[in-house]
């Protein structure tokens, strides 16, 4: 099997579990008797844990240079821990399990992105075409979960997630890449990091920096690409991604309370990902036309519009049309952020850099999830409108990042 197909298999297996977790895991918690406020708090736990877990584990994987084995080990550990939800019925037990699960599960996405970005960089595959199989699998899980949930909600959701994680671990074992070897004393002369940022935002994309492989602390202290401009762009994408917090936590509950069946919930979630698949399939062409800033801009605009409309549409046609904005609110911002980080960071820091990206997204999403739980309990409409405001903040951050990059370019 070609290398790009093996990486695609990892995405497919991972996103099958995620396709059950995001729409239906809140129903598992609700079935256990937990309140909306408790559910919002629990769903913030993975976001908080990944603040530390993702960059630290990403840096460790960069240091040892074995991403395939790391993904395999973490997937199996997450599967074992997730099995505990067959028995957990209290808030405390659920919180403890989610902490353990998140340490292993949260780093899988940035590690997979770093792995796919490396395969693309070496000319052995296209990131978007590998990643789209994750989206296809996500839809399949949405539909299967929607049809089967009911009397077997916990069994279907938890069992399916465990199966997906085990499959991801098996697929990861088949991915063999040579370790990146660098001279500990080697260094590279480059332009200033902010000038590099300006060029990346215009698709010039230099990716030069110190060649030494170091840990996360050194990355944050010495990594030439970790500049205020870099962090502003990542924060912009993070706000747009985090604006999905209310959707992830409460869309299934919101729709079910308006009379939507479980099967329809799965279909609506799946339809939302169809535009994402189309975007990923044409990712190389789209990136060439729009560039990083164009992708992020349309993604943020799509998120603002989506969350303004979401709480007010109830007929099937309107729901479908709003769901199709997912390709922008999630797909465009994700594609733009991954491309931006991959082009700014050198290969030996790829995992840690994607971990920093994930850390920023996690921090904002944790706050958004907790806030969504409180807001939804008092007013479901306000929870979704708050997500539109968060997306708007992302737009402000993107403009600020562009200002920094343009100033750096003029300064030479």
For residue 379, the SS3 value is: coil
Residue 257: per-residue pLDDT: 85
pLDDT tens profile 198-229 = 555 555 444 444 444 455 555 555 544 567 78
Report the pLDDT averaged over residues 28-44.
85
Task: Look at the chain and count its residues.
Answer: 412
- CA-based nearest residue to 230, from 83, 122, 342, 139: 342
CA distance 212 to 187: 7
Instruction: Report the pLDDT value the prediction gives residue 53, as an integer from 0 to 100.
Output: 80
Q: Are 337 and 296 in contact (CB under 8 A)?
A: yes
Cβ contact 58:110 at 8 Å = yes
pLDDT of residue 349: 67
Which CATH code, of 3.40.50.720, 3.40.50.1370, 1.10.1060.10, 1.20.1250.20, is assigned to 3-177+187-411? 1.20.1250.20
- CA nearest to 329, candidates 313, 306, 358, 360: 306
User: What is the token pair recorded at 146?
Assistant: 């929607």
Task: Determine the Cα–Cα distance for residues 162 and 98; give it in Å rounded to an integer.
Answer: 14
Exposed, middle or buried by CB within 10 Å (0-12, 13-18, 19+), for 68? buried
- At residue 179, the pLDDT reads 60
**Full-model pTM:** 0.70
Q: What is the pLDDT of residues 256-270, one digit of tens each?
A: 888 888 788 888 988
Residue 124 CB partners (closer than 8 Å, separation 6+): 2, 3, 4
Structure confidence by residue, pLDDT tens digits, 40-89: 888 888 878 877 787 778 777 777 767 778 899 999 999 999 999 988 88
Neighbouring CB atoms inside 10 A of 208's CB total 14
According to the model, what pLDDT value does residue 190 have?
34
- Token pair listed for 295: 């992708």
Residue 385: HSE in the Cβ half-sphere, 13 Å Cα cutoff: 6
pLDDT digit string, tens, across residues 114-152: 788 888 878 888 888 898 899 899 889 988 888 887 666
Comparing 360 with 151, the larger pLDDT belongs to: 360
pLDDT value, residue 177: 65
Residue 193, pLDDT > 50, answer no
Tokens describing residue 138: 């996500």
Q: In this structure, what DSSP letter does residue 311 have?
A: G
Q: Which of 121, 1, 155, 13 is nearest to 74 (CA)?
A: 13
Query: What band does 2 get if pLDDT is binned at 50, 70 and 90?
Result: confident
Residue 93 to residue 375: CA distance in whole angstroms: 24
Q: Is the pLDDT of residue 189 over 50?
A: no
- Between residues 396 and 34, which one has the greater pLDDT? 396
């Amino acid at each position: 099997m070609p290398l790009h197909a093996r990486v695609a298999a990892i995405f497919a297996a991972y996103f099958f579990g995620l396709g059950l977790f995001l729409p239906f895991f809140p129903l598992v918690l609700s079935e256990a008797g937990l309140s909306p406020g408790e559910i919002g708090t629990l769903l913030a736990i993975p976001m908080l844990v990944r603040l530390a877990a993702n960059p630290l584990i990403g840096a460790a994987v960069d240091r040892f240079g074995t991403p395939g084995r790391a993904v395999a080990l973490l997937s199996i550990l997450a599967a074992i821990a997730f099995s505990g939800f067959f028995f957990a019925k209290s808030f405390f037990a659920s919180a403890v399990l989610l902490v353990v699960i998140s340490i292993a599960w949260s780093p899988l996405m940035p590690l997979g992105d770093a792995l796919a970005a490396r395969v693309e960089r070496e000319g052995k595959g296209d990131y978007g075409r590998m990643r789209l199989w994750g989206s296809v699998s996500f839809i399949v899980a949405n539909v299967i979960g929607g049809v089967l949930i009911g009397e077997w909600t916990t069994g279907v959701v938890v069992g399916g997630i465990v199966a997906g994680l085990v499959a991801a671990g098996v697929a990861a074992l088949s991915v063999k890449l040579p370790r990146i070897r660098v001279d500990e004393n080697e260094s590279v002369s480059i332009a200033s990091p902010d000038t590099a940022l300006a060029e990346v935002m215009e698709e010039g994309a230099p990716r030069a920096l110190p060649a030494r492989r170091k840990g996360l602390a050194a990355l944050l202290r010495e990594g030439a690409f970790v500049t205020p401009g870099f962090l502003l762009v990542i924060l912009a994408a993070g706000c747009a991604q985090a604006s999905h917090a209310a959707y992830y936590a409460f869309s299934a509950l919101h729709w079910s309370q308006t009379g939507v069946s479980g099967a329809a919930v799965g279909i609506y979630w799946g339809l939302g990902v169809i535009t994402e698949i189309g975007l990923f399939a044409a990712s190389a062409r789209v990136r060439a036309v729009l560039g990083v800033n164009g992708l992020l801009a349309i993604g943020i605009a799509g998120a603002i519009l989506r969350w303004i409309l979401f709480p007010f549409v109830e007929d099937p046609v309107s729901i479908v049309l709003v769901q199709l904005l997912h390709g922008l609110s999630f797909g465009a911002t994700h594609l733009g952020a991954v491309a931006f980080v991959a082009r700014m960071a050198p290969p030996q820091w790829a995992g840690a850099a994607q971990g920093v990206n994930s850390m920023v997204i996690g921090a904002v999403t944790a706050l958004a999830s907790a806030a969504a739980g409180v807001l939804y309990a008092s007013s479901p409409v306000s929870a979704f409108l708050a997500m539109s405001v968060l997306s708007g903040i992302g737009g402000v951050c993107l403009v600020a990042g562009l200002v920094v990059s343009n100033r750096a370019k003029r300064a030479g």
